[in-house]
Amino acid sequence: MGSRGDWKKLLPTALPGAAWLVAFMLLPSLFVFYASFLQRGANGWISGPLTLSNYLRFLGLDGESFDPLYLKILWRSLLLGGVTTAVVVLLGYPFAFFIALSKRKNLLLLLVVLPFWTNFLIRVYAWIVIFQRRGVLNAFLASVGFNPLHLYPSWTAVYVATVYTYLPFLILPLYASVEKIDWTLLEAAYDLGAGRLRGFFHAILPQTIAGLVSGVMLVFIPAVGTFVISDLLGAGKTVLIGNVIQQQFGSSRDWAFGSAAAFVLMAVVLLGLWIYARWAGEKGLEDLL
């Protein structure tokens, strides 16, 4: 994209997308950013003057003593995102290979995508049906002579459902990488004296990094911000940053504070991505980003 001519040629194809992003991404974000420095006004609307109080409140610095309530909630959300991502990688990485090497890969891919044919809320409600006191799981446990489990509402249920929800978002991009693996590189590694483990780490893993990275981002970012799953499966007892934000724009009607919370979350995620990008740059993986 050097000269002006290139730019002019690009314009017709880039314009619709750019306009879309400006109208539905950039402008609303700027509005939310602006709102985060305002205060709750009359009728639950927002009004001036500009203030930092929303951020101080989030950081727990607005009262007489330090109150890390919202920081704890943020930490809980990051933990959910991190653990979910880790579990999803452990489950999804081998599974992507299983699909790619299977003779029935089309069927398996269909099974991965199949849940998307049902509404997300219905799928989360289905976990209630499974986990509730007289639910499917406990009926099964009773039939084989075990005591019932109290999994609804619980953090366990939230974690299980989050993993379930985001697993396909890792498998699909990873599968795309695994499909394209050049297996002769593994043979080259063997030929040069690498055993199975080192062969995998030096010849196979690097070829799947691109898919793994996009999968991890597709899982981590929405998992950190989830509120529907914790709302339904935690029955209001498992509060995440997503729930906090949603409440401010809903029942609490404090858009200013909700905007500040949303921006803190975004800043934390972007900071994580920035650190990751620097790490990747040092490793010479910049083409992945």
Partner 1 sequence: MRKRFDGGTQALDGVTLQVMAGEFFSLLGPSGCGKTTLLRILAGFENPDEGVVRINGQDMRSVPPYRRPLNLVFQNYALFPHMNVYDNIAFGLRMKRLPASEIGSRISWVLDLVDIAGLEKRRPDELSGGQKQRVALARALVNEPDVLLLDEPLGALDYKLRKQLQVELMNLQEELGLTFIYVTHDQEEALVMSDRLAVMRHGKIEQLDFPEAVYERPTTRFVAQFLGASNLIPAAALDESRTTTPLGDLAVKEALAPGRRYTLSIRPEKLRLHRTRPPRANVVPVRVDDIIYTGAENQYLLDAGPLELIAYTLNADIQEPGFEEFDYDENVFAELPPENLVAIDG
Q: Would you tell me which residues interact with partner 1 (CB under 8 A)?
A: 182, 184-185, 187-195, 198-199, 202-203, 206-207, 284-285
Query: Least distance from C-beta 270 to partner 1, angstroms?
Result: 27
Nearer to partner 1, 203 or 245 (CB): 203
Query: Least distance from C-beta 289 to partner 1, angstroms?
Result: 14
- Residue 110's Cβ-count burial label (10 Å; 0-12, 13-18, 19+) is exposed
Distance CA 192, CA 172 (A): 32
Nearer to partner 1, 185 or 266 (CB): 185
**Between 241-249 and 69-101, two packed helices, what is the crossing angle to 10 degrees?**
120
Query: Least distance from C-beta 196 to partner 1, angstroms?
Result: 9
Nearer to partner 1, 185 or 277 (CB): 185
Nearer to partner 1, 10 or 182 (CB): 182
Query: Least distance from C-beta 90 to partner 1, angstroms?
Result: 23
Query: Least distance from C-beta 89 to partner 1, angstroms?
Result: 20
Torsion angle of C-alpha atoms 69, 63, 265, 113, degrees rounded to 10: 30
Find the length of the chain.
289
Give the rounded distance of the alpha carbon of 192 from its chain centre. 39
Nearer to partner 1, 146 or 279 (CB): 279
Torsion angle of C-alpha atoms 227, 233, 237, 239, degrees rounded to 10: -20
